[in-house]
Structure 1
Amino acid sequence: MKYPFRPPCSSPCPSPRRQFFHRALRHGAGLAGAATLAALAPRAWANVPQARSLALAHTHTGERVELVYAVGERYLDEALGQLDHFLRDHYSGEVGRIDPGVFDQLHRVQQRLGGQAFEIISGYRGARTNAHLQATRGGGVATRSLHLEGRALDIRLQGVALADLRDAALELRAGGVGYYPGERFVHLDTGRVRRW
């Protein structure tokens, strides 16, 4: 039986790394074992149907990540763990669990707009950090911020105008969208649909 994710061999045939990846899937590694390969070789997923990937660059830590985080309805645990760490509270280092729905929003926005990597201004935020920012930012930080629950990101998209990013996020109707042109970011979250 043919494995459903195996791409046809065209000219030129897949690289040895890609061949190894597809053999691993066919011979029992399955998606759980393939998650490790996603971290090691995200481009190996390029021809896998329904693979959802992200490229992120953190403006505060200088870190970058590019990975596949889901295939079809299944999220890849190792990739989600990497994203949780990448999107940690950059003030305290505290790692929270990020709602995968936020990643789906990013993926859908990028499908509409293209662009390069998402620039992350803020991801997860711990309670102490949130309280400190409330005290020092003059009311621009919500007491019950969805950043505290790992359900919000403040972002830009390289190569895309900020207003276009806002409009694409609003069209999704998948949660809240805040537009901060002065600070040069768009907030999106998986809360109720709203805008500001």
Structure 2
Amino acid sequence: MTKPSSDPRRLFLCNTGKLALAGALLPLSARPAFAALATLPEARSLAFDHTHTGERIAIVYAVGEQFVPEALAALNRFLRDHYSGEVGMIDPQLFALLYRLKQTLSCESPFQVISGYRSPATNAHLRKTRGGGVASHSLHMDGKAIDIRLPGVSLVDLRDAALSLRGGGVGFYPQEQFVHADTGRVRNW
């Protein structure tokens, strides 16, 4: 059994309610606040590099089973439609799925994002200009899908790990160098 810390800051963090603390520590741009949130024992974090915008984000999106609203808002903006700039609402369960995927693969590298949210107009345009592969009712439009790769992990291993989780749909696109993961019904292609 470990002795409780006598550090007043740690005591404060441990005793003030994790979700309330998460909200109080943000805005997310405050680095010391993010670092404090990240030290919580049940903090769940993800990191992403966006291949189209060049943006990067590393964020604690949940503490235990409680999602951090400010983090979800930042992730919604990060995963916006990179064609139009439109921000959609990303299903928080998608982040939980990606976290489980990261754990399954024992990989700390940031996910490389090819596509997150997609507006209906962008989806329609891509259906017309890309010779297939874009569903008319894509879960990207509902914020329930993401196209990713993971540096240091083969696409086959990424696909197989996603399939093993049975958390939704998994699409394998070796020519385009990404794996599609969604929180829809379990299926693969």
1:154-179 deviation per Cα after TM superposition (whole angstroms, max 9, x unaligned): 00011111111101100100000000
Match of 2:40 in 1: 48
Provide the rounded CA distance (Å) in 1 between the counterparts of 2:126 and 2:16.
51
Following TM superposition, the consecutive aligned residue runs of length 4 or more in structure 1 with deviations greater than 6 angstroms are none
TM-score, normalization: structure 2?
A: 0.88
Provide the rounded CA distance (Å) in 2 between the counterparts of 1:165 and 1:43.
29
- CA RMSD, 1 decimal: 2.2
- The unaligned stretches of length 5 or more in structure 1 are 1-6
Provide the rounded CA distance (Å) in 1 between the counterparts of 2:166 and 2:15.
38
1:139 aligns with 2:129: no
Provide the rounded CA distance (Å) in 2 between the counterparts of 1:138 and 1:21.
55
User: What is the aligned counterpart of 2:103 among 111, 124, 128?
Assistant: 111
Provide the rounded CA distance (Å) in 2 between the counterparts of 1:68 and 1:30.
12
Deviation, 1:37, is: 6.3
- The unaligned stretches of length 5 or more in structure 2 are none
Identity of aligned residues (%): 57
Deviation, 1:25, is: 6.0
User: What is the aligned counterpart of 1:76 among 60, 68, 74?
Assistant: 68
TM-score, normalization: structure 1?
A: 0.85
Match of 1:90 in 2: 82
Provide the rounded CA distance (Å) in 1 between the counterparts of 2:88 and 2:27.
24
1:21-70 deviation per Cα after TM superposition (whole angstroms, max 9, x unaligned): 76366467533213x06553334344422211001000000000001000
Checking the alignment, whether the CA contact within 8 Å between 1:39 and 1:67 is kept in structure 2 is: no
Checking the alignment, whether the CA contact within 8 Å between 1:68 and 1:79 is kept in structure 2 is: yes
Count of aligned pairs = 182
